[in-house]
Amino acid sequence: MKKILFYTNQFFGQIGGEEFAYTKPLIKEGPIGNANAFAPHINGGEVVATLICGDNYYVENMEEAKEFINEKIKEIQPDILIAGPAFNAGRFGIACADVCKFVQEEYGIPAVTGLYWENPAVEMYKGSCYIMQVGKSAATIRKAVPLISNFVSKLIAGEEIGTPKQEHLYPNGQRVNIISDTNGAERAVEMLIKKLKGEEYETELELSEYEKVEPAAPLKTLKGKKIALCTSGGIVKFGNPDRMPAASAKIYNKYDIEGKDSLLEGEFESVHAGYDLVYANVNPNRIAPLNILRDLESEGEIGSIYPYLISTTGNSTSVAYATEMGKGIAQELLEAKVDAVLLTST
């Protein structure tokens, strides 16, 4: 029998509701809570232990939580990890997917979770672990249990994994070669004919779809307006004390620019991994032109400058993380009554 480690949150782990969301990670022997729904349906595997962690604790203390999980993985030496499923729960979804990514990348242990397609963790983690397509809420768990259990049983048996559509997985971005009796031109024409007839067809290359955002109405004048300076060019305090990643950023930083006429060499620099930083580091204003904004302020062309530079690294950042950062930045600027934003790139 293969050893299965199960991960869940404080609610499904039978500790309590939202008031226990800061519960530190703990482990219990055997299947606990919703793990009991899966245990009888997995062929060739046994749930030997259940990891439980509060949703808030995990997303706010990822490294500490993973240190605990790391110790338990070494003790138990499981063959497979199942997390969740988290359905459309944002914090729980990120925790489940992050645990799966960690275990699969660090130990080579297959890790499986289930998320609803709108859960932000899908876009963030689908390339790092097995994420199965499940319903929106826990009310659909009766469908999720056999789906995940059958897939895990397949992994245990060493059976060949089918296409994402066949397995109800979110595509992870990998392309594989499939032998076909017809060539690409024939298949393309066949799909086109079906499309023209209004018949169902299956594309061989799905394109990503992105949310369309309506731009704000333009300002009639900048005179008297408060302007914020934001950049995805990776500008940070010299030495990068806040540890902004050079790529795939999940955070943005704020730097106090109150009273500064420009961004000085040796005080600010760029950590962006997507362009030559020489000229940006000699004069950081080339990326975030605080000096020009100060000139406009002194000339009365704008009213004032928001007292913080907001910066992140836009290199290889996922759409999901970019969306979350954008929402956070927008909320802060709205609360500060900022009228417009100068957003620079590289």
Is residue 190 included in any domain, yes or no? no
Q: Are residues 231 and 302 in the same domain?
A: yes
Task: Give the span between the Cα atoms of 133 and 128, in whole angstroms.
Answer: 15
Helix ranges, 77-140 (H) = 90-107, 120-125
Q: What single-letter amino acid sits at 1?
A: M
Domain contains 187:
no
Claim to verify: residue 6 and residue 85 sit in the same structural domain: yes
Of 151, 167, 183, the one marking the end of a domain is: 167
Whether residue 35 is found in the same domain as residue 149? yes
Residues 151, 231 within the same domain: no
Identify whether residues 17 and 107 lie together within a single domain. Answer: yes
Contact 264, 283 (CB under 8 A): no
Contact 96, 88 (CB under 8 A): no
**Count of domains for the chain:** 2
Residue 11 lies in a domain: yes
Q: Beta 2-9 vs 45-53: how paired, if at all?
A: parallel
Quote the percentage of the chain above a pLDDT of 90.
80
| pLDDT recorded at residue 152 | 97
pLDDT at 9: 97
Of 167, 194, 216, the residue that ends a domain is 167
Q: Which residue has the higher pLDDT, 39 or 215?
A: 39
Q: Give yes or no: residues 14 and 88 share one domain.
A: yes
Digit-coded pLDDT (tens) for 258-268: 999 999 999 99
Please check whether residue 214 lies inside any domain of the structure.
no
Q: Are residues 84 and 159 in the same domain?
A: yes
Q: Are residues 234 and 308 in the same domain?
A: yes
- pLDDT tens digits for range 145-193: 999 999 999 999 999 888 888 899 998 877 777 888 999 999 999 999 9
CA contacts within 13 A on the Cβ side of 242: 21
Say yes or no: 117 and 230 in one domain: no
Same domain, 153 and 235: no
In a domain, 34, yes or no: yes
- Model confidence, pTM: 0.62
Tell me, yes or no, whether 339 lies in a domain.
Answer: yes
Rounded mean pLDDT, 118-136: 91
Residue 203, in any domain of the structure: no
Looking at the fold, whether 120 and 254 belong to one and the same domain comes out as no
Contact between 171 and 206 under an 8 Å Cβ cutoff? The reply is yes
- Structure confidence at residue 192 (pLDDT): 95
For residues 28 and 182, is the Cβ–Cβ distance under 8 A? Answer: no
Confirm whether 196 is domain-assigned: no
Q: Which residues have C-beta within 8 Å of that of residue 191, sequence separation ≥ 6?
A: 201, 202, 203
Residue where a domain stops, chosen among 167, 191, 215: 167
Residue 311 · residue 253 · CB < 8 Å: yes
Q: What is the pLDDT of residues 20-66, one digit of tens each?
A: 999 999 999 999 999 999 999 999 999 999 999 999 999 999 999 99
3-class SS of residue 175: coil
Q: For residue range 236-295, list pLDDT tens digits in order.
A: 999 999 999 998 888 999 999 999 999 999 999 999 988 899 999 999 999 999 999 999
Report the pLDDT value the prediction gives residue 145, as an integer from 0 to 100: 96
Per the structure, the complete domain to which residue 326 belongs is given by 226-344
Confidence (pLDDT) at 208: 65
CA 49 to chain centre: 27
pLDDT on residue 43: 95
CATH code where residue 123 lies:
3.40.50
- Shared domain for 236 and 135, answered yes or no, is no
CB burial of 83-119 (b: ≥16 within 10 Å; e: otherwise) equals bbbbbbbebbbbbbbbbbbbbbeeeebbbbbbbbeeb
